[in-house]
Amino acid sequence: MLGEQDVIDTVESAGNNPKVTDITCNAHWVGPAIQEILDANPMLTFIPGDVYAACEQGAATLWTTPEGFVVTTGETDTFTGERTMLIWLAWAYKRGMNLVTKHQDFFAEQARQQGFVKMEVRSAVPKLKDYILSQGWELDTIVYTREV
């Protein structure tokens, strides 16, 4: 697990809001945190290098705060053309700090400014369901898979 000082030393405070951050300059702490997410979620098929490449190519954005980071990307509905901001990854140094509540209005505004009509977050953590729903999110889809 990364130390809090690693994050604080790397991320300059941008007020209370997350800021767009160059992943190359933050790979020393973001990469291990992404690996921590992947280790806890073995169903995910990407590697930290895929996230790095998506950010470098402009297909994803790294947002940082002294508390941790979020990686966002966009998805387009094939049938309606509507764009959704996907909060692809989220990592915090300390869990249970209500960071969804703290930053969701900021991300909603960023989504609006970038032409998205909604935001989406995905998680395989059942305990998050009640918390996320209590923050104004709606349950849209549950995905079940089975190997053949």
pLDDT digits (tens, 9 = 90+) for 78-128: 999 999 999 999 999 998 888 878 999 999 999 999 999 999 999 888 888
How much is the pLDDT for 3? 39
**d(Cα 33, Cα 24) in Å, to the nearest integer?**
14
pLDDT of residue 10 exceeding 60, the answer is no
The pTM score is 0.85
**Strand blocks (E) in 43-82:** 60-65, 68-76
Mean pLDDT across 13-30: 87
| DSSP-derived pairing of the beta strands 118-121 and 83-92 | parallel
What tokens appear for 44 in the block? 């995910």
d(CA 26, CA 66): 12
Q: How confident is the model at residue 15 (pLDDT cuts 50, 70, 90)?
A: low
Asked whether 102 and 65 are in contact (CB, 8 A), the reply is: no
If you search the block for the tokens 């190997």, which residue do you land on? Answer: 147
Residue 58 has what DSSP assignment?
Answer: T
**Number of other residues whose CB lies within 10 A of the CB of residue 25:** 10
Dmax over Cα atoms in the chain, in whole Å?
A: 50
